[in-house]
Structure 1
Amino acid sequence: MPPMVKVVVAEDHALVRQGINMLLTATGGFELVAETALGSDVEMLVAFHKPDLLLLDLALSDSSGIEVARKVKKVAPKTKVLIVTGNVYPGSVANAFAAGADGFVLKHEQGSELLDAIQAVLAGRQYVSQQVSKGLDNSTNGRPAGFGLSQALTQREQQIVRMIAKGGSNQEIADALHISVLTARKHRQNVMLKLGLHNGAEIAAYAMQSGLAEAPDLDSNL
């Protein structure tokens, strides 16, 4: 009998984690050795359990999945990292693979697609699902890279970009917008995911280059 494939799941929605667990259990041959909703836990869990596979969401509650993937590949280069996320945005796929990810699928795809992706990355092949590829084609549609990325942001996310460009911290943004620090951090992570950026400095540079930094913002005190 072949050895069980050890799996760690990093996903901030409990129902999604449970669904993945049920799928792997029903399929057989997999052992879910750990699961977490926090990106800050993943590096430690991978180093301890040495899993064959990490199923990783990009938008975790406390950190960027891209940064988590990069850290995991440093401590456990043999662990395959399969991104399982809710949406695909310009830059997110390229940045995920640059960070060491082995595959990319969407949460709303069929369980059979996830299993195909798992088998592919375990066999040493990169995997991008058809839905992800279609999303990338639709996002560019023959236009220059970066065209219209601001339109991928909600009005609140554009507001967050302007406030970051002014030097606002998560706490300052939360106070100005009367939201929690956790919500402000989540908005920042969503912006980085959608734009394919990695930190506040890159967000600020993007805001200047795109003109968002100079757009009026009547709701902000920053």
Structure 2
Amino acid sequence: MSCRILIADDHGLFRDGLRAILSAAPGLEVVAEACDGRDAVRQAILHSPEVVSMDILMPGISGIEATQQIKRQRPMTRILAVTEQSSPEHVQEALRAGCDGYILKSARSSEFVDAIRFVSSGRMYIHPTVSGHLLQNYLADPDQGFQSSGWGDLTDKERSVVRLVAEGHTNRSTAEILNKSIKSIEKYRASLMVKLGLRSATELVVKAIENGWVDKEHVGIVHVTDGHRDRPSKPAPARHAPRNGLFT
């Protein structure tokens, strides 16, 4: 019996490449794809895959929040976090959300196949590049990775708001995506700005990119909030691992 897989990633080329790799491996079957977090939840419920390959940084509902939603509705679904981020805080956030494995997009084809098979069999998979001392730090002090940036002071919902604000969403569209009232989003936003010591959406965008909380490709350069327009200067480029390792 084949292992049914859902690929969730907002880059079509990456989805195509990963589908080709997994479909060529014996015993693996890609049954669906999703282009964002919300679609990932919908496809997971519709197709009941054994494993979800989940990009953790996607526009709208991130892969982290999608993982939480899927685990609440289908706790037996195994989820492999797929990302360019190797920092301790990203590993920690993914594991806390319920991910069963963590692999970098720079991994080789054979490593993706191994990772899928590991998590589908009920085992944990951590990519060698991020395991070692990063995993030891996580086990020794689960809060260590977050404290330097202030990320650990935020609630899960505040983290979702950070990403959506950085992507250029208004309070209204953020409320619609998270299924909250506009007043609730305003409260979340005010609270997270205080916790992070920030004064504007511009500062929030820069901090989000510098700490890798959001993929710079998803950032909205012009932010229109309810009632006023905030135009941040273009942030400095983020440093990401190359994507082409998937095809090596």
Q: Into which bin does the TM-score normalised by the smaller protein fall?
A: 0.5 to 0.7
For the residue of structure 1 that corresponds to 2:92, the secondary structure is helix
Instruction: Give the TM-score normalised by the residue count of structure 1.
Output: 0.66
Q: 2:5 aligns with which of 4, 7, 31?
A: 7
Q: Map of 1:128-167 to 2, 5 A cutoff? A: 128-133=126-131, 136=134, 145-146=144-145, 149-150=148-149
Give yes or no for the alignment of 1:204 onto 2:193: yes
Is the partner of 1:28 in helix, strand or coil? Answer: coil
Q: What is the rounded CA distance, in whole Å, between the counterparts of 1:14 and 1:88 in structure 2?
A: 22
Shift of 1:204: 2.3
**Pick aligned residue for 2:69 from 68, 71, 74:** 71
Shift of 1:135: 8.0
From the superposition, tell whether residues 136 and 47 of structure 1 become closer, same or farther in structure 2 (CA, over 3 Å): same
- Contact 1:90–1:149 (CA under 8 A) maintained in structure 2: no
Residue in 1 that maps onto 2:115: 117
Unaligned segments of structure 1, at least 5 residues? 151-163, 175-179, 186-198
Q: Normalising by structure 2, report the TM-score.
A: 0.59
| Superposition RMSD in Å | 3.8
- Residue 47 of structure 1: aligned partner: 45
Structure 1 segments, 4+ long, off by >6 Å, are none
Q: Is the 8 A contact 1:43 1:75 kept in 2?
A: no
Structure 2 residue aligned with 1:22: 20
- CA deviations on 1:125-171 (whole Å, 9 max, x unpaired) are 1111111225837x99x999258845xxxxxxxxxxxxx99xxx94x
Q: Who is 1:194 aligned against?
A: none
- The one-character-per-residue Cα deviations of 1:176-213 (angstroms, maximum 9, x if unpaired) are xxxx549xx8xxxxxxxxxxxxx7466424413xxx55
Give distance in 1, aligned partners of 2:47 and 2:24.
22
Q: How many residues align?
A: 178
Q: Relative to 1, partners in 2 of residues 1:95 and 1:125: Cα closer, same or farther, differing over 3 Å?
A: same
Distance 1:207 1:83, change over 3 A: same
Q: Which residue of 2 aligns with 1:106?
A: 104
Please list the CA deviations of residues 77-129 of structure 1 after superposition, one character each: whole Å capped at 9, or x if unmatched: 11110001111233221221121110000001111211221111111111111
Match of residue 218 from structure 2: none
1:33 aligns with 31
Looking at structure 2, the residues matched to 59 and 21 of structure 1 have their Cα atoms a distance apart, in angstroms, of 19
Deviates more, 1:37-46 or 1:14-23: 37-46
Structure 2 equivalent of residue 159 of structure 1 = none
Within 2, Cα distance between the matches of 1:202 and 1:146? 21
Structure 1 residue matching 2:144: 3-state secondary structure: coil
- Closer/same/farther in 2, CA of residues 111 and 74 from structure 1, 3 Å limit: same
Aligned-residue sequence identity (percent) comes to 31
Query: Is the contact made by 1:37 and 1:61 (CA closer than 8 Å) also made in structure 2?
Result: no
Work out the CA distance in 2 between the residues paired with 1:146 and 1:100: 17
